[in-house]
Structure 1
Amino acid sequence: MSLDAYIAGLPKAELHLHIEGSLEPELMFELARRNKVSIPFDSVEAVRAAYDFSNLQDFLDIYYAGAEVLRTEQDFHDLALAYFRRAAADNVRHAEIFFDPQTHTDRGLPFGVAADGLLSGMKAAETELGVTSKLILCFLRHLDEAAAIDTLNAAEPWLDRIAGVGLDSSEVGHPPSKFRHVFERAGHMGLKRVAHAGEEGPPAYVWEALDVLQIDRMDHGNRSMEDPRLIERLADERMTLTVCPLSNLKLCVVRDLKDHPVPEMLRRGIHVTLNSDDPAYFGGYVNDNYRRLADAVGLSREQVTLMARNSFEGSFLDAADKAARIAEVEAWAARSA
């Protein structure tokens, strides 16, 4: 069996997925027509041509423009279910998806429009596709902490259906410590804590995410590899890193996939997972990230299997569900030996 075929059948979890970033151009146009929203593109091809970014901010500008077509609970339901259908085709068995409520509340939508629509899409995905999922509320770091606290307050009626909080958007100039108090409060509420750090920001941001925000999982973390003490700590603590190779390439975090740090992360004992981040914008879903990285750096079947196992170990599933999913990984590996 080829490595491509092995990856295709390998059960895996996705732990770093921005649901708004799974908005494919075809669905963008469909929702724009449905909601009578004007968008600055005249064709699907024009949208795809615009996906030529040189940095994170270039991407975010078009990302926020695309979100304008999302107006109703049904829109968010359809967005979620479209992602889960694509993920199921990659044999994703569990996904923990981010959403950015401030992107929507700041343009006048009630918190529940996005939350209820996504939750209904997640429920449909479990019923129809057998894919389980959890929802993570992310704060936009280019806004202030007071806005994040307001968002957490607005989320309270939904917190029994939200697994955790995260931190995303423009990283440079917005260190994790800026959100110390809202993360502390979220922890007291029993929510898991994750944060983007060390994508474009320096290793110091990773230290802050660990020590100030007290995160349970690290999103990206690439620049951790610049700090030997940090590498050792991440490995010793088995901190899961949700790495996104095609995103890193598209946003010029790495110049070429052959230069990606995943092989060195694995060699140093870091708990790496592979994810798609914003797949509609970055040119690939989970299996594309596995395959293209494997081709670029020569990943072995054992390394690919380890990262799939890591994806379940690093998830927020309970111990029994983790064990069941990891058993699926091991069974596939044994059948394919």
Structure 2
Amino acid sequence: MKGFISGLPKVELHLHLEGTLEPELMFALAQRNGVIIPYSSIESLKAAYQFHDLQAFLNLYYQGALVLRTEQDFYDLTYAYLERCKEQHIIHTEVFFDPQFHTRAGVAFDTVASGITRALRDGETNLGISSGLIMCFLRDLSEDDAIETLKQAIAFKDDIVAVGLDSAEQGNPPEKFERVFAMARNTGFKTVAHAGEEGPSEYIWGAIKVLKVDRIDHGVRCTDDPKLVAYLAEHQIPLTVCPLSNVKLNAFEDLSKHNIVELFKQGVLVTINSDDPAYFGGYLNDNYLAVAETFELSKQDVALLSDNGIKASFLSDEKKRVLQNKLAHYLDIQFRPII
């Protein structure tokens, strides 16, 4: 199974670029930019990656992101992730970034977006990995702040495929951002939102009914409401699930208690993703393997989960067919009888 997953063509749809900042790169960028971080060594920084809830993680996550100051920093961060995608046979990825954090830290929006988009273009040219960029609003900030950020994104409309909503759910329901999401849709952006990770199932309904999102990020609390599960399955609204992240942040006690396979068997369009892999100790292949081994999935099941990722992507139907053909070719080789 490990070898099968390693070579399996895959798509990743829930990945925070800032969450791919490995300790080694964080230290290198801190030295490059003269940023002081409160760790004396890479080892002490790695030790700090032991947290027990979403807020503790976010505190560390945003502290680390302060080392990102220049366009080249964002390029290096993004390209390092794409190189790992190449190693893991990820053929398409749709990645999040949090511009509000960086602009509030004194880095211009154009600096952030230019570095990321240049790396994504080079990743397609040099590595053969297609991509889309999703700009997230921080839900613990005001909607007016989000609206100002949306205005800045218009200049990058050709590069940013969607807007999203992330950061701490508690006390920040989707309804808080109804206006800015309507503006984004009217401008032509696709929409996604984190909902139902630490927040209740009602937040998932809010994201669907009020924000009118195309995908739900996480969404694992949907099983608290059977009608919601049925709705998700009927309308094939994708969930971008991050199994190892959910366990790390105590959404589930351990992976055996996770509901991803239950939802998969109920016909919900679930996809497997890595979320913030530098912090959670697992990139995409690790998440696939953990789910496959824990729930004793067949190779056919794992292949269907990969196909779900293609279906749930924001690619055109034509480009989806190209990726599905790559997947079919791989499966044909894997399952071809030995004569």
- Same-fold call, TM > 0.5? yes
Comparing 60-69 with 41-50, greater Cα deviation is found at: 41-50
The 8 Å contact of residues 80 and 118 in structure 1, kept in 2 or not, is answered as yes
2:323 is aligned, of 310, 322, 325, to 325
Q: 2-side partners of 1:43 and 1:51: how far apart?
A: 13
- 3-state SS of 1:163 partner: strand
Matches within 5 A, 1:165-204: 165-204=163-202
Q: 2-side partners of 1:299 and 1:60: how far apart?
A: 32
* Residue in 1 that maps onto 2:240: 242
Q: 2-side partners of 1:5 and 1:239: how far apart?
A: 30
The aligned amino acid for 1:115 is A
1:44: how far off? 1.1
Deviations 1:68-103 (A, max 9, x none): 100000000000000000111110000000000001
The aligned amino acid for 1:37 is V
Q: 1-side partners of 2:297 and 2:119: how far apart?
A: 34
Q: 2-side partners of 1:55 and 1:45: how far apart?
A: 22
Matches within 5 A, 1:31-42: 31-42=29-40
Q: 2-side partners of 1:193 and 1:156: how far apart?
A: 15
1:108 aligns to 2:106 (yes or no): yes
Q: 1-side partners of 2:278 and 2:241: how far apart?
A: 17
* Residue in 2 that maps onto 1:305: 303
* Residue in 1 that maps onto 2:158: 160
* Residue in 2 that maps onto 1:282: 280
The aligned amino acid for 2:116 is L
* Residue in 1 that maps onto 2:95: 97
* Residue in 2 that maps onto 1:207: 205
1:231: how far off? 0.4
Matches within 5 A, 1:76-87: 76-87=74-85
Matches within 5 A, 1:213-224: 213-224=211-222
Percent identity reads 50
Q: 2-side partners of 1:157 and 1:87: how far apart?
A: 28
2:136 is aligned, of 130, 135, 138, to 138
Q: 2-side partners of 1:187 and 1:35: how far apart?
A: 37
The 8 Å contact of residues 257 and 297 in structure 1, kept in 2 or not, is answered as no
- 3-state SS of 1:252 partner: coil
* Residue in 1 that maps onto 2:145: 147
Q: 2-side partners of 1:268 and 1:295: how far apart?
A: 20
Q: 2-side partners of 1:292 and 1:258: how far apart?
A: 10
Q: 2-side partners of 1:299 and 1:253: how far apart?
A: 22
1:335: how far off? 1.1
- Gap runs ≥5 in structure 1: none
- 3-state SS of 2:86 partner: helix
Deviations 1:226-271 (A, max 9, x none): 1110000000001111000110011011110111111101111000
The aligned amino acid for 2:230 is E
- 3-state SS of 2:69 partner: coil
- 3-state SS of 2:43 partner: helix
The aligned amino acid for 1:265 is L
* Residue in 1 that maps onto 2:229: 231
* Residue in 2 that maps onto 1:117: 115
1:42: how far off? 1.1
1:142: how far off? 0.5
Q: 2-side partners of 1:156 and 1:122: how far apart?
A: 18
Q: 1-side partners of 2:186 and 2:94: how far apart?
A: 21
1:43: how far off? 1.1
- 3-state SS of 2:267 partner: coil
- Gap runs ≥5 in structure 2: none
The aligned amino acid for 2:209 is D
Q: 2-side partners of 1:135 and 1:43: how far apart?
A: 32
* Residue in 2 that maps onto 1:336: 334
The aligned amino acid for 2:176 is K
1:160: how far off? 2.0
Q: 1-side partners of 2:278 and 2:262: how far apart?
A: 28
Q: 1-side partners of 2:84 and 2:114: how far apart?
A: 21
The 8 Å contact of residues 90 and 287 in structure 1, kept in 2 or not, is answered as yes
Q: 2-side partners of 1:52 and 1:203: how far apart?
A: 27
Q: 2-side partners of 1:276 and 1:194: how far apart?
A: 17
The aligned amino acid for 1:51 is Y
* Residue in 1 that maps onto 2:262: 264
* Residue in 2 that maps onto 1:63: 61
The aligned amino acid for 2:189 is L
Q: 1-side partners of 2:294 and 2:238: how far apart?
A: 23
Size of the aligned set, in residue pairs, is: 335
1:174: how far off? 0.5
- 3-state SS of 1:16 partner: coil
